[in-house]
Amino acid sequence: MISRPVPPADATESPLPARPRLIATDLDGTLLRDDKTVSDRTVAALAAAEAAGITVFFVTGRPLRWMDVVRDHVHGHGLAICGNGAVVVDLHTSTPVEVRPLPRTVALDVVRELRAAAPGTSFAVEFTDGITYEPEYPRFPLDPGTLVAPAEKLLAADGLAEGRDDGTTAPVAKLLAHHHDLTPDGFLTLARTIAGDRATFTRSSPSALIEVSGFGVSKASTLALCCAERGISADEVVAFGDMPNDLEMLTWAGTSYAMGNAHPDVLAAASARTVTNEEDGVAVVIEEIIARHG
């Protein structure tokens, strides 16, 4: 992420809607500080928004099992959007309530084509109930002990490669592709060029790590579905983000804020900027919303 200081949000120049009904916020690099905690100021701001009748949705690339950091702050509705839009989860019960999977056949096609176009690519497969890795893929510290095998086996239709003894299969939430040598944006562009008509490609890491979801699945498209169920229009949504996987959400929402530490594409796309995640940029704007509308 690129850090560039910006002034705090100014109520006289803010593009906030007349009465926001929903706040949608990314987590890493946005709501969370760099040490992966939620500051006391942000906790208070989230509670104040809910008390004012403004729904807060966490919209993240994280899987359900990495959501403990915000579980206590989801409030009444209990829902969050995980896996870049692949899974809507109830954090009160720790269960998925809706899944928009990546078809295994599509995932296998992407694996074959990326291997051919970018030799040295390694893969991990994020299922709705856990992650599996190829031997060369750099494992996440939070998930060190899962099954390791070639992606073709991990994506086998019988599900036995996932260590299941009943032949059933869990849905694929997303495919992860990593390359040691390519630039992050260059790798993303390559992947979209060769298979962007069959899957959704994005990234949220400072390394060359691509996240692959089902075609049309994104933070924005799943958030739009959740809002439609509640009778909330895009114009009534205020969204926050910092990385390319937030772009669709930021351009869909009626009002959007790039964090001061955001990727250049995010800074260019959002309708406004706030200060960095280390400076509680989301809380700064929520406090302005509460001050305006109570």
Are 232 and 288 part of one and the same domain? yes
- Domain end (from 214, 237, 265): 214
Together in a domain, 89 and 175: no
- Is the pLDDT confidence value at 8 over 90? no
Average pLDDT over every residue of 41-46: 96
User: Is a pLDDT exceeding 60 seen at residue 30?
Assistant: yes
Type of residue found at 212: V
Tokens 């993303």 -> residue = 188
pLDDT tens for 281-290 read 999 999 999 9
On whether residue 1 sits in a domain, the answer given is: no
What is the predicted pLDDT for the residue at 145?
61
**Residue where a domain stops, chosen among 181, 214, 247:** 214
- Whether residues 130 and 177 fall in one domain: yes
Q: Is 4 part of a structural domain of the chain?
A: no
Same domain, 93 and 168: no
Same domain for 130 and 196: yes
Domain boundary among 168, 197, 214: 214
45 falls within a domain: yes
CATH number of residue 94's parent domain: 3.40.50.1000
Do 153 and 231 have their domain in common? no
Whether 241 and 276 map to the same domain: the answer is yes
What pTM was computed for the model? 0.90
In a domain, 111, yes or no: yes
- Antiparallel, parallel or unpaired: β 22-25 and 237-241: parallel
Specify whether the CB–CB gap between 87 and 100 falls below 8 A: yes
Average pLDDT value for the chain: 90
Q: What is the pLDDT of residue 2?
A: 38
**Is the pLDDT confidence value at 18 over 70?**
no
pLDDT digits (tens, 9 = 90+) for 190-204: 999 999 999 999 999
140 and 86 part of one domain: no
Same domain, yes or no: 96 and 222: yes
Number of domains in the chain: 2
Q: What is the pLDDT of residues 91-148, one digit of tens each?
A: 999 999 999 999 999 999 999 999 999 999 999 999 998 899 999 999 887 776 678 8
Name the token pair of 263. 């990727």
205 and 139 within one domain: yes
CA dist list (Å): 172 to 64, 131, 212, 234: 13, 10, 10, 28
Domain limits for position 139: 104-214
Same domain, 112 and 161: yes
The CATH number assigned to the domain holding 109 equals: 3.30.1240.10
Whether 193 and 57 map to the same domain: the answer is no
